[in-house]
Amino acid sequence: MLNRVVVFTYLFLFATSIVSCTHSNENIPSEEHSYELNSDIVWASPKGFDLTMDIYTPDTGKENYPVIVIFHGGGWLINNKSIMRQTSEYLASKGEYVVCNVNYRLLGDLNNTVKMNEIVEDAMGAVLWIKKHIANYNGDPEKIILTGDSAGGHLATIVTLQGRDLSSEGFSDEPYGFNPTWLPEGKTAEDIASENGLEVQAAMISYGAFDILESAKSGMEKPTNIFWALGMASARGLFGDTINYNDNPEFYKKVSPIYNIPSSEEMTLPPMLFTVGENDNLTTPTSIEDFITRLKAEGHTDLEYWIHEGRPHAFLDSGSNDFLKISFEKDAPPALDVMLEFLNNIFYINQVK
């Protein structure tokens, strides 16, 4: 497996102090169950590039289930949904949730021309596609949960916070907004925004990246970020060669959740769970805590935080990583059990509709 930590060249250096909450396991399902898997469903083909997802439906006899949408990590340059395969299987077999494991474009795709805003638009389009079609897989389109790790955590966060920040013009003209890759027939980006069509009911962010502007300043666009080589692409600007963070910081801020936190008067955020490894030196606990502090400063209070003691980055990845000394079987289940308890309290224990 590719080492996802040593190759990162950017760090998040924010300071605050938040005490993590504790969790019991009393609400975690104790028995595994089977599930139905529909693989490699093509949900969109931007510029002829097929995007796929896998959908897991629990086999427990319910008429419908809440839906977990997963965005994988990999620095926006490597990996695909397979890195979240075991996480998807775990959530679908131990929880009563439909799980959608999503592929989005990477920066190096389409001859190294994909822009960061287009990746966000893929994530938004996937959520819209799922809302439209998930009833066919026994999913409840009114109970959508977003999750992702690292780069995927960034995508899940930005959709949760900025789902109304849409424009049919995308990033081609000011004021910049996102034009989802997939839209329901007859709908525009503006229609989705006015209807709050990207609203979700919960979000679980695992060691997410929140400040793309700071990442660019720290070398994300340079050849020293070895992810470019691993993604078999030449280093370049995240928005193309004509855009840079010195002259065009607004582009970078627009795709950075840390600069786009709405006040609670503007928008009520859904319950959010943040998880991070105690020894993560990329998306550090301090950076996660700073983001939570900023959310609280804007009046958002339905937030939970859990630290995976002794663990580094990427503890949700499938398989094993000898360099990091982590493996899915050993390191992912404690975090996934916390995630399932968080969701069970929302969708089953308290019966939120």
Q: DSSP labels for 282-294? A: SS-HHHHHHHHHH
**Model confidence over 291-326: pLDDT tens digits?**
999 999 999 999 999 999 999 999 999 999 888 889
Phi/psi-derived region of residue 210, left when phi > 0, alpha when psi is between -120 and 50, beta in every other case: alpha
Mean pLDDT along residues 210-234: 96
Phi, psi of 204 (to 5 degrees): -130, 115
Q: Is 57 left (phi over 0), alpha (psi -120 to 50) or beta?
A: beta
Can you tell me the distance from the alpha carbon of 231 to that of 250, in angstroms, rounded to the nearest whole number? 26
Residues 295 and 16: their CA atoms lie apart, in Å, by 13
Residue 17 has pLDDT above 90, yes or no: no
The two tokens of residue 205 are 């962010």
Q: What's the domain count of the chain? A: 1
For 98-144, the pLDDT digits (tens) are 999 999 999 999 999 999 999 999 999 999 999 999 999 999 999 99
| Gap between the Cα atoms of 129 and 144, Å rounded | 12
Quick: pLDDT tens for 335-347.
999 999 999 999 9
Cα dihedral 133, 134, 135, 141 in deg (nearest 10):
-100
Rounded to 10 deg, the angle between the 328-344 and 85-94 helix axes is: 50
Q: According to the model, what pLDDT value does residue 25 have?
A: 40
Alpha-carbon gap, residue 263 to 205, rounded angstroms: 19
Between CA 212 and CA 205 the distance in angstroms is 16
Q: Is residue 151, in this structure, part of any structural domain at all?
A: yes
* Residue 165 forms part of a structural domain: yes
Establish if 168 belongs to a structural domain.
yes
In a domain, 4, yes or no: no
> Does residue 292 form part of some domain?
yes
Tally of residues, the chain:
353
pLDDT at residue number 126: 99
Task: Say what the pTM is.
Answer: 0.91
* Domain-embedded: residue 50: yes
Q: Report yes or no: 120 and 176 within 8 Å, Cβ to Cβ.
A: no
3-state secondary structure (DSSP) of residue 39: strand
Q: Does the residue 130 lie in any domain? A: yes
CATH number where 241 lies: 3.40.50.1820
pLDDT tops 50 at residue 7:
no
In a domain, 211, yes or no: yes
> What percent of the chain is predicted at pLDDT more than 70?
91
If you average pLDDT over every residue of the chain, what do you get? 91
Residue with tokens 């799922």: 130
DSSP secondary-structure letter at 240?
B
Helices vs. strands in the chain: H and E counts, helices first: 10, 10
Task: Note down the domain range covering 115.
Answer: 35-349
Q: What is the pLDDT of residue 323?
A: 84
Residue 40 exposed, middle or buried by CB count within 10 Å (0-12, 13-18, 19+): exposed
- Listing DSSP states for 279-331 in one string gives T-SSS-HHHHHHHHHHHHHTT---EEEEEETT--S-TT-SSEETTTTEEHHHH
pLDDT of residue 350: 73
Q: What is the mean pLDDT of residues 24-31?
A: 47
pLDDT tens readout for residues 235-290: 999 999 999 999 999 999 999 999 999 999 999 999 999 999 999 999 999 999 99
Of residues 69, 306, 314, 334, the one with CA closest to residue 203: 69
Distance, CA of 53 to CA of 96 (rounded, Å): 19
Query: So what's the pLDDT on residue 351?
Result: 63
22 C-beta neighbours (distance < 10 Å), count? 7
Cα-only R_g, the chain: 19
The arithmetic mean of pLDDT across residues 87-91, rounded, is 98
β-pairing, 51-58 with 35-44? Answer: antiparallel
Per-residue pLDDT at 9: 34
Q: What are phi and psi of 35, to 5 degrees?
A: -150, 160
pLDDT of residue 308: 98
Stronger pLDDT, 56 or 22, i.e. the higher one: 56
